[in-house]
Amino acid sequence: MNNNISASRYATMEYRRCGRSGVKLPAISLGLWHNFGHVNDFENSKNLIYTAFNNGITHFDLANNYGPPPGSAEEVFGKILSTDFNGYRDEMIISSKAGYTMWDGPYGDWGSKKYLVSSLDQSLKRMKLDYVDIFYHHRPDPETPLEETMGALSLLVKQGKALYVGISNYGAEEAEKAIQILKQNGTPCLIHQPKYSMFERWVEDGLLDVLDNHGVGCIPFSPLAQGLLTDKYLHGIPADSRVATSGVFLKESNITPEKIEVVSKLNEVAKSRGQKLAHMALSWILKDERITTVLIGASKPEQITDSIKALGNTSFTTEEIQLIDQILK
């Protein structure tokens, strides 16, 4: 037994059924997109996993290209699993993806069967696992027939390398087709992972309805718009912020006076609800019953415990929803 693992880890987390499947996911899931690469502090990465698991977060979301360098997030996570979580694998949902550039040449990108099968084999080796719980196609491939891509996902389930499959970044029409093909192949689509936040609402234009109709779960990523939907940037750019340190995904040019004015007004609504803005941004997504779980990233353990506080207040009055919509317009 590992004395660092809390006996009361399931006491407070909320679990939601994923579509019409048998799987329940924690309302908050941990994404390993950042802060788990070889460039990051290993002890901190380990503490993030412990903090999540000890607070009932059972779902850990990776992809072949997470790092940096690509592949290193899976290696670091695999090392943490084998040394600290030996015996706890069956309490976890571990997912990975393939679809972005991973290696040189024509077989290291997009959606061919060659790429997807090779990629998952590599991911399993890096994580020292026999199977992943969920394997996603990371983005639609405009050149490979959808039948081939979905056929590859089905094959990987039949080979026992993945228990379930999902899709990510697919629009409503593409998702509809992909879900139908998977169903015909006998491997239903478990979940879809789209980008969704108060600032990015395209999923409301049909995608959520498609998922609901087919009983497919939904796990939004970037719910805080890379940190914009927090109180972090209300008074300038902090020295330790993602903008100041990397500026790759959220650039200083994104933080316009107009954006900050909107964030400031949303912050006032959050205060009136007795919440921090970051909590309200997560609650606002989770208010929709079609959402299974929301994916957070973290660079410090306390960011994980803080995010969980959003779960105490996920209902909104009609007036609050109207006010938020008005501010966002």
Domain boundaries, the chain: 15-228+277-315
Instruction: Say how far apart CA 302 and CA 51 lie, in whole Å.
Output: 8
- Looking at residue 167, its pLDDT comes to 99
Instruction: Say how far apart CA 154 and CA 167 lie, in whole Å.
Output: 12
**Under 8 Å CB-to-CB from 196, ≥6 apart: which residues?**
202, 203, 220, 221, 222, 223, 285
- Looking at residue 236, its pLDDT comes to 72
- Looking at residue 239, its pLDDT comes to 62
**Under 8 Å CB-to-CB from 80, ≥6 apart: which residues?**
45, 46, 49
Q: Which residues pair with 200 in a beta bridge?
A: 197
Query: Residue 98's closest CA among 129, 74, 75, 77?
Result: 74
- Looking at residue 1, its pLDDT comes to 82
Instruction: Say how far apart CA 179 and CA 99 lie, in whole Å.
Output: 17
Low-confidence residues in the chain, pLDDT < 70: 237-251
Instruction: Say how far apart CA 74 and CA 37 lie, in whole Å.
Output: 8
**Under 8 Å CB-to-CB from 91, ≥6 apart: which residues?**
53, 58
Q: Give residue-wise pLDDT tens across range 27-54.
A: 999 999 999 999 999 999 999 999 999 9
Instruction: Say how far apart CA 279 and CA 282 lie, in whole Å.
Output: 5
Q: Give residue-wise pLDDT tens across range 43-96.
A: 999 999 999 999 999 999 999 999 999 999 999 999 999 999 999 999 999 999
Whole-number percent of the chain with pLDDT over 70: 95
Which residue in the block uniquely carries the two structure tokens 């909104």?
A: 316
30 by Cβ neighbours in 10 Å (0-12 / 13-18 / 19+) ranks as: buried
- Looking at residue 228, its pLDDT comes to 93
- Tell me, yes or no, if the pTM score tops 0.75: yes
- Looking at residue 248, its pLDDT comes to 56
Tell me the three state secondary structure of residue 264: helix
Query: Residue 60's closest CA among 80, 38, 43?
Result: 80
Residue 295 Cα distances to 63, 82, 178, 223, 327, angstroms: 13, 24, 22, 7, 24
Which residue in the block uniquely carries the two structure tokens 């997560």?
A: 282
Q: What is the β-pairing status of strands 93-98 and 132-137? A: parallel
The rounded mean pLDDT for the chain is 95
- Looking at residue 233, its pLDDT comes to 87
Q: Is domain 15-228+277-315 annotated with CATH 3.30.70.20?
A: no
How far is CA 213 from its chain centroid?
22
- Looking at residue 290, its pLDDT comes to 98
